[in-house]
Structure 1
Amino acid sequence: MKPRLALATAVRVLRQVRHDPRTIVLLLVMPSLLIGLMAWIFVDTPVFGQVGPALLGLFPFVVMFLVTSITTLRERRSGTLERLMTLPVGKFDLIAGYAVAFGLLGTVQSLIAAGFSVWVCGLDVSSSAWLLVLVAVMNALLGTTLGLFASAFAATEFQVIQFMPAVVFPQILLGGIFIPRDQMPAFLSAVSDWLPLSHTIAALQDVSTKVDAAPDVLREVWILAAFTVAFLVLGSVTLRRRTP
């Protein structure tokens, strides 16, 4: 990997996003609006305090997955990636550049969503606030790299949307939002251990409910980092030229 080439790719992607205000709004504002809507719906009830941490992981993850996968797919279909791959740029450099660009956007998104959840919506955090931010940022990076990987298997934007029931919805159902994972049937509980969003939700719930959550949260963060690196590598492996 050549950091200079990856950085140049990241700068190019960020310049493109800068000229697309709808994407910027979707990335930076929409997760906070959805979290705020949930807090408003369940105002004066304990429900938001119970599901709020999970929502802080869910909404940014879904948004980053969609935006990253669709944007990368458009680059593939328009021939931009094809032209770039004729240059002395490695596949991992390209994928790393996209990951850096959308990772930066995801980091800003996570900071906004975490701050909005705590200071505006009143989400209780029993542990340190920096742990909440750390998990939120790792979750955004996870959604970014998963979107990069998923874009290799879609030919149209509609097919990207079709990945939602196959890739994202099972993680939502088995992530521990509706029922604790240890109360699920043994097989489903075992499957949930291998789903990255489950570890995001577990970490955010620990931050919200445990005073000394750092050891448990950092263990989950390392697992999320492993998933992120794996998706990044798989994304570079599946990046191929369409013409010889």
Structure 2
Amino acid sequence: MAPQLAQLPTLAPEDIPEVEKVYVYGDEETTFFDQLAPIFVSFFVFFFVFIISGIAILRERTSGTLERLVATPIKRRDIVFGYILGYGLFAVIQTLIVVFYAIRVLDIILIGSIWHVILINLVIAFVALTLGTLLSAFANSEFQMMQFIPLIIIPQIFFAGIIPVDTMANWLQFIAKCMPMYYAGNAIVDVMYKGLGFEYIQTELFILLGFGIAFMLLNILALKKYRRI
């Protein structure tokens, strides 16, 4: 015969303890998309600025304008700084449009300061601007420039926090930390979703600035091959 199981005591409704839910981030109405939406804001800024800067500089080069500039006594760093300042103005305007549209129109969750959100996206726009101008030096046509998107830009989104980097293999975690969007994704989620302050994102911002400065220096070196005299 099968052994008889001990009958569990029945609790009265008033004896059942109530479970209190405490949300560290978000609330009971928070969805999974609310956690991902801030990442997409920075990614779209990164993507659009990269396209505009890369294609614009490429047209300058294919039309011969860049070669004529390089042939003058103007220093290469002055040319790079000039392009970055010129197209940087459009990048700032585009960044502000994307941020305010995402927050005011799409009503994406924002717990922290909107000024920190703008700061993060302006820094990632600077990185995209310098990266776009750098890669345009190695493209001979707009089609080749577009080929950099699936190679360089699209993989960034997978390392920005949509897929938890901590669950990836060690070699993928190393690659993730070489991607600018990894740091931008962490910073934007900390501000928009977690409501953290500047002291929690300053490390990511400095690293992103380091990326931008490195791309800018590499761009100055890349222009050397266009100097004919």
- Give, in angstroms, the shift of residue 184 of structure 1: 1.6
Bigger Rg, which one: 2
Counterparts of 1:206 and 1:45, CA distance in 2: 16
Q: Deviations over 1:32-88 (max 9, x none)?
A: xxxxxxxxxxxx982441221111111121111112111111111111011112222
Q: Work out the CA distance in 1 between the residues paired with 2:33 and 2:158.
A: 18
Q: Secondary structure at the match of 1:176?
A: helix
Instruction: For 1:60 and 1:211, locate their aligned partners in 2 and report how far apart those are by CA, in whole Å.
Output: 21
Q: Please name the residue that 1:230 is paired with.
A: 214
Stretches of structure 2 lacking an aligned partner (at least 5 in a row): 1-28
Question: 1:126 aligned to 2:111?
Answer: yes
1:187 equivalent in alignment to 2:178 = no
Q: In structure 2, what is the equivalent of residue 201 of structure 1?
A: 185
The reply to whether residue 164 of structure 1 matches residue 143 of structure 2 is no
Q: With CA pairs under 8 Å and 6+ residues apart, which has the higher RCO, 1 or 2? A: 2
Q: TM-score, normalised by structure 1?
A: 0.77
* C-alpha distance in 2 between matches for 1:69 and 1:212: 33
Show structure 1 runs of 4+ deviating over 4 A.
none
Match of 1:93 in 2: 78
The normalised TM-score by structure 2 is 0.82
C-alpha contact (below 8 Å) 2:61/2:67 kept by paired residues = yes
Distance in 1 separating the partners of 2:227 and 2:114: 46
Q: What percentage of aligned pairs have identical amino acids?
A: 35
Structure 2 counterparts to residues 137-152 of structure 1, below 5 A: 137-152=122-137
Give yes or no for contact 2:45–2:124 (8 Å, CA) kept in 1.
yes
Structure 2 partner of 1:64: 49
Q: CA RMSD in A?
A: 1.6
Q: Secondary structure at the match of 2:71?
A: coil
Q: Kindly state the Cα deviation for residue 203 of structure 1 after the two structures are TM-superposed.
A: 0.8
Q: Which residue of 2 aligns with 1:4?
A: none
Unaligned runs of 5+ in 1: 1-43
Deviation at 1:242, TM superposition (A): 5.7
Identify, as 1 or 2, the structure richer in helix.
Answer: 1
Secondary structure of the residue aligned to 2:137 is helix
Counterpart-to-counterpart distance in 2, 1:157 and 1:237: 22
Q: Do the aligned partners of residues 106 and 205 (structure 1) sit closer, same or farther apart at CA in structure 2, a change above 3 Å counting? A: same
